[in-house]
Chains A and B, each alone.
Chain A
Amino acid sequence: MAEQASERGRGAQWQHLDLRRINWSWLGTVPFFLFACAFLVLPSASLVIGSFQDNEGNFTLQNIADLGQPSILNAYLLSVQVSGVTALLGTLVGGLLAWAMVLGRLPRFVRAFLIPFSGVASNFAGVPLAFAFIATLGRVGFVTVLLKNLGFDLYDQGFNLYSFWGLSATYLYFQIPLVVLILTPAFEALRPQWREAAESLGASGGYYWRSVALPILTPALLSTVVLLFGNAFGAYATAYALTGGSLNIVPIMIGAQIQGDILHNPNLGYALAFGMMVIMTLVLALYSWLQRRSARWLQ
């Protein structure tokens, strides 16, 4: 306090120095915040505001209430299901792969191949990924024909690439490698001493995993699930290229709304996007909370 007072006193003495005394250094970050306002805050805020307005621009909650109509609710449900299933399955399969790679006593080349491959595969998405799956599991795809020649008709058994499980199988192609990349450090952080200590106290392998390793890994596993959920929930290009818009998930519905106002109400379209932002915000909040918890262990 005393220091501040004397500062002020000096400022009054040399008034021509006043401008210099103010901390102007924040000016250096102005371009960044201007950019963020123009292309991040403004577009999202305009969608949020639009979802609380009627066609005349008056305040209304009708659009939010209309999100409850069956077709929209089903789209949200399908989106949540695809994201949830691929997040859980992806974490399970990717976790097993990471475990096998780190703790399976495999030769080094497995890891030398799997890590860069995971980097590439987790970025291999959109149209090329969709087409790769059409060539594999489509009606005349490689695996479909192969199985048919062996006497097993996938499509007669109810499988369809352009449906829920088809889309999920395709999403897993970029979900699983992402898990491998995220969980490899987590498995590496499990110290061999912990296992030795457990074993020297008479614990079996199963007991060690249940009581020591899994509780340590749990925050990392949960945050992976949440990250994958968000990753799948926002995905548009892969779904669009695969189903061409026939599978009604939220991103596809928003795309159709941009192109041709399929809801016959622009403001309901904004509400649709607003709902997506709300879910993604919840996902991010949950993720950062879990991250902070797992960071305590994995140092």
Chain B
Amino acid sequence: MKKRSSLVAWLFIIVGTSYFLLPLIATFLFSLRAKKDTLGFTAYQRVFADSSFYETFLFSALMALLTIIASLLLLVPTVYWAYLRHPRLHRLIELVSLMPFVIPPIVLVFGLIKSYSRSPVILVQNRGLLIAGYMVLTLPYMYRAIDAGLRATNVKTLTEAAQSLGAGWPRIIWQVIVPNVRGALVNGAFLTFATVLGELTLAQYLAWPAFGPYLARISQNKAYEPAALTIISFALTWVIFGVVLLVNSKDQQQTQFGGTH
């Protein structure tokens, strides 16, 4: 009985793993065939020699960074304040932070374009709108990370202790609360980074030269470079999640995963 169930389990794992590894192997082999009759890294060299690879990558990385900073500045004080003073508003904030689940990226960008391409407020050519869109897209993950971090911290006691020592609000948030939820913040930040870096929908319809649209353009026009880029993207995702797992194993927190497809 014990032996049989283990055998079936092996079978499932092997079949499942091959479904996941085959596309990666196929893509990798394909990426090596850029030069006729030889295997080599020509496709990768071409990718790294392309200046728009760096330009779009840096643009998306910068947008991701700005999104993270803006999200943290908006959410950490809000959620902290709700914990401290307004338990009832807490429910409402939670509800709002779930709303992006109801609005898929394609619908969000549609609504943003409809709302901000006419007077009185024209924002479609402002990169602030792209960042705001990304903040909405990643709001559920960011909120959950911050909320989980604060829930595990004794917000009230820490605040009172800091106040009794004469600390002001900026100092309490920056030097007392943030260090206590650092692991959770890093978790949310990297998820945001992973989501924004390759994001296609918002960047494409708001017409920004981002990494996602670049990948889409290359994969329509070239044969071997997109294979190399796919492998590079997969490796990048591993690096990002490696950091998340590392941070979490130190903090003993549950990892959360998510993203847009």
Contacts and interface: CB of A to CB of B under 8 A. Distances in A.
Interface of A: 25-26, 28-29, 31-33, 35-36, 38-44, 46-47, 50, 93, 96-97, 99-101, 103-106, 110, 114, 116-136, 141-143, 171-174, 176-178, 181, 205, 230-238, 240-241, 244, 251, 254-255, 257-259, 269-270, 273, 276-277, 280-281, 284
B101 interface: yes
B233 A28 contact: no
Contact of B110 (A131, A174, A234, A254): A254
A281 B216 CA distance: 30
A131 B107 contact: no
- A interface, over-half SS: helix
A173 B26 CA distance: 15
Interface in B232-261: 233-234, 237-238, 241-242, 244-245, 255, 257-261
Contacts of A31: 74, 78
B58 interface: no
A133 B23 contact: yes
Given A40-B99, A124-B237, A176-B16, A236 B105 contact: yes
A277 B78 CA distance: 27
B261 A233 contact: no
Interface stretch (B45-53, B159-167, B198-206): B198-206
Interface in B25-80: 25-27, 29-30, 74-75, 77-78
B205 A131 contact: no
Contacts of B185: none
28 contacts: A25-B81, A25-B86, A29-B81, A40-B103, A43-B103, A43-B111, A43-B112, A44-B107, A47-B107, A47-B110, A47-B114, A50-B114, A97-B16, A99-B12, A100-B12, A118-B257, A119-B241, A123-B241, A127-B200, A127-B219, A129-B261, A135-B27, A143-B26, A230-B101, A233-B104, A237-B200, A270-B114, A273-B106
A104 B6 contact: yes
B81 A123 contact: no
A125 to B, nearest CB: 4
Contacts of B255: 119
B241 A236 contact: no
Contact of A43 (B108, B135, B234): B108
Interface string B127-171: 000001101100100000000000000000000000000000000
A126 B102 contact: no
B5 A38 contact: no
Given A33-B96, A119-B255, A127 B215 contact: yes
Contacts, number: 268
A229 to B, nearest CB: 12
A258 B237 contact: no
A162 B68 CA distance: 36
A178 B27 contact: no
A128 B102 contact: no
Nearest to B114: A46
Contacts of B8: 100, 104
Contacts of A123: 194-195, 237, 241, 257-259
B172 interface: no
Question: Which 9 residue pairs spanning A and B have beta carbons closest together?
Answer: A104-B9, A43-B111, A234-B104, A142-B26, A100-B9, A125-B261, A28-B81, A237-B200, A235-B261
A99 B9 CA distance: 8
Given A116-B245, A251-B104, A258 B215 contact: no
Contacts of B85: 25, 28
Interface in B88-122: 89, 93, 96, 98-115
